[in-house]
Amino acid sequence: MRAGLSTLEEAEEALAVRRQKPAGRLRVDAANPFVLHQIVPHVKAFREAYPEIELELTASDRMVDLLEKRIDVAIRIGPLEDSTLHARPMGRSPLSIVGSPDYLREQGLCQTPDDLAKHTLIGFTAPETLNLWHVGDGLQIRPAIRASSGEAVRQLCLRGNGLAYLSRFMVGEDVKQGRLVEVLGEHLTRPNPRELVNAVYYRNTTLSARIQVFLDFFSARWQSL
């Protein structure tokens, strides 16, 4: 009964949103690579659809307190820990091990998990959980090169510095254009909880219309993550 009422309330809220023209400021936070690769490319179309919404983007590679930072909605990759937030699943973004064609030509192919020991691996400074690669039963790598930002890891990989384990939302276009090559795809563990993409926010009736249209607009474009 409670689940049915919740569904009915959400349907009524969505109908109310369609009847009005959402306006005002909307603060959205996400990891820097997600902002660059999945939000910025669609902002022009969003503004054309909802010109009265003042969109404010913040990019942070660490978790932030939504209330403290006055964030209205945040995009989070991976399992959620804060149960006080309302969450809307936005899809999955598979992780891939990738390297540049030049790097693989120089250092040789990576065809089995054991081959990783022969390659330069690019990872993160923190948290250390980001250096757990889901290959087979899991491999906690010791990166030869570390960076604090996913975008920095991507740039290092593009420039032939080694192999990296990154989300498709960040490297999908690079793979499609041949700038990066996926390796060991058949050895990666699926499903992977780090592939989850959620939008999180506190329920606020003043903001609900803005949040609703933002999530509806972008979720349609993130289906191809």
Task: Say which CATH number the domain at 64 has.
Answer: 3.40.190.10
14 and 51 share a domain? yes
165 and 215 share a domain? no
Write down the pLDDT at residue 223.
Answer: 62
Eight-class DSSP state of 37: I
Distance of alpha carbon 206 from alpha carbon 128, whole angstroms: 39
Compute, in degrees rounded to 10, the torsion defined by CA atoms 186, 195, 172, 113.
-30
166 and 182 share a domain? yes
The sheet carrying 86-92 orders its strands as 53-59, 24-30, 73-77, 196-201, 86-92
114 and 85 share a domain? no
* Whether the predicted pLDDT of 7 surpasses 70: no
161 and 204 share a domain? no
101 and 81 share a domain? no
- Give the range of the structural domain holding residue 150, as residue numbers without chain letter: 95-189
Contacts of 185 (CB under 8 A, 6+ apart): 96, 97
Confidence tier at 19 by pLDDT (50, 70, 90):
low
Model confidence over 138-150: pLDDT tens digits?
A: 999 999 999 999 9
Q: Which regions of the chain does DSSP assign to beta strands (E)?
A: 24-30, 53-59, 73-77, 86-92, 95-99, 121-124, 132-133, 139-140, 145-147, 163-167, 181-183, 196-201
Length of the chain: 225
56 and 132 share a domain? no
Write down the pLDDT at residue 191.
Answer: 81
| Mean confidence (pLDDT) of the chain | 87
Distance of alpha carbon 222 from alpha carbon 28, whole angstroms: 16
What is the CB neighbour count within 10 angstroms for residue 42? 15
Strand-pairing partners, residue 77, are 197
pTM given for the model: 0.81
Number of domains composing the chain = 2
Write down the pLDDT at residue 96.
Answer: 96
99 and 87 share a domain? no
216 and 152 share a domain? no
Mean pLDDT computed over 90-109: 95
65 and 100 share a domain? no
Write down the pLDDT at residue 194.
Answer: 86
172 and 109 share a domain? yes
Lowest mean pLDDT across 7-21, 57-71, 112-126, 173-187: 7-21
Confidence tier at 2 by pLDDT (50, 70, 90):
very low
Confidence tier at 154 by pLDDT (50, 70, 90):
very high
